[in-house]
Amino acid sequence: GESVGLHLPTLSVQEGDNSIINCAYSNSASDYFIWYKQESGKGPQFIIDIRSNMDKRQGQRVTVLLNKTVKHLSLQIAATQPGDSAVYFCAENSGGSNYKLTFGKGTLLTVNP
């Protein structure tokens, strides 16, 4: 069935370090994945996406890696800043006539100054 889960519910890093947030998915038919950031009291904010025909995609300070063999998705944040503190969600869209996003439970990233 469709499900998206996270390996680590919380992650605490020092300012300036790199952060890696992991996500596992179970639907091999999923062809589109998105990472969202949600700050307290706000709606999810799009960070980066990747299609299933790609293994890696880079944005500004963020990189998403997709390993379809083991159904694993990761978000790497370079030089983590206090403003990066938030809950990060991975989401998958299994495509076809199913347009819904299935979200993971989220990882709380805390950046210590």
Partner 1 sequence: DSGVTQTPKHLITATGQRVTLRCSPRSGDLSVYWYQQSLDQGLQFLIQYYNGEERAKGNILERFSAQQFPDLHSELNLSSLELGDSALYFCASSPWGAETDTQYFGPGTRLTVL
Alpha-carbon distance of 9 to 84, in angstroms, equals: 16
Tokens linked to 17: 């370090």
Relative to beta strand 19-25, strand 4-5 is antiparallel
Q: Does 106 bind partner 1 (CB under 8 A)?
A: yes
Alpha-carbon distance of 75 to 36, in angstroms, equals: 10
Which CB, 30 or 74, lies closer to partner 1? Answer: 30
Question: Among 74, 93, 107, 109, which residue sits at the site for partner 1 (rule: CB under 8 A)?
Answer: 93
Question: Among 27, 95, 108, 110, which residue sits at the site for partner 1 (rule: CB under 8 A)?
Answer: 95
Q: Residue 7, CB half-sphere, CA atoms under 13 Å: how many?
A: 10
Interface with partner 1 in residues 25-64 (CB under 8 A)? 31-32, 34, 36, 42-46, 49, 51
Tokens linked to 34: 């998105």
Question: Among 28, 58, 67, 98, which residue sits at the site for partner 1 (rule: CB under 8 A)?
Answer: 98
Q: Which residues bind partner 1 (CB under 8 A)?
A: 31-32, 34, 36, 42-46, 49, 51, 89, 91, 93, 95-106
